Amino acid sequence: MGTRTVLQQSDITRALTRIAHEILEANSGASDLVVLGIPTRGVVLADRLGAVLESIEPETFGPASERVGRLDVTMHRDDLGRGLGRTPQRTVIPAGGIDGKVVVLVDDVLFSGRTIRAALDAIQNIGRPRAVRLAVLVDRGHRELPIRADHVGKNLPTALAERISLHLAETDGVDEVVIEGGVA
């Protein structure tokens, strides 16, 4: 049993920059993008991703504050009855809404796919985007649902006994991704 750091601040910054470029290329620009982070750390990553998109294409993306929001999925989770959920947080959709837009969902770690399934249900209650894309910092595998990320910062195959923790300066004082547990 141990802990090992697999991504540091520079790795995370590089991954988000690459993801931003991939999104812009796949979407032929930023004019119809809306970025929604999934609490908790997905919101921080969405804010950072929005800032990178704004720096690359300020004329078409505009101020990140007008294109980045947050999507709480708590009430759409399939584990609510098991007491595994968290306190619902406020969903914030940019003023332009999501109808007819390309929504980029941002999450920290993609694992079973259940959080993303809940996010898709939550989006359906808000509007009808033209398309939904998924950007994650880490894909660790072990999917239980047919969910695949469109943009991945780092694929980190793990054992089920291992846990991936993302620490971000805004919430934890440091930027890093660590793998904890497993077999020594």
Task: Note whether residue 163 is domain-resident.
Answer: no
Residue 83's pLDDT is: 59
Residue 8, phi then psi, degrees to nearest 5: -115, 180
Query: Reduced to 3 states, what is the DSSP secondary structure of residue 89?
Result: coil
85, part of any domain: yes
- What is the phi/psi pair of residue 155, to 5°? -85, 125
Mean pLDDT of the chain: 94
Q: Dump pLDDT digits (tens) for 12-29.
A: 999 999 999 999 999 999
Question: For residue 101, what is the domain's CATH number?
Answer: 3.40.50.2020
pLDDT at 81 over 70: no
Nearby residues of 82 by Cβ (< 8 Å), 6 or more positions away: none
Pair 177, 164: CB distance under 8 Å = yes
With cut-offs at 50, 70 and 90, classify the pLDDT of residue 82: low
Beta bridge partners of 165: 178
Residue 60 is assigned to a structural domain of this protein:
yes
Note the pTM of the prediction, 2 decimals.
0.94
Instruction: Identify whether 49 is part of a domain.
Output: yes
Structural domain includes residue 133: yes
Range of the domain at 67: 9-158
Distance CA(23)–CA(39), nearest Å, equals: 21
Evaluate whether residue 178 is within a structural domain.
Answer: no
Residue range 30-65, pLDDT digits in tens:
999 999 999 999 999 999 999 999 999 999 999 999
- Report if residue 113 sits inside a domain: yes
Q: How many domains, in total, are found in the chain?
A: 1
Question: How many angstroms separate the CA atoms of 47 and 92, rounded?
Answer: 12
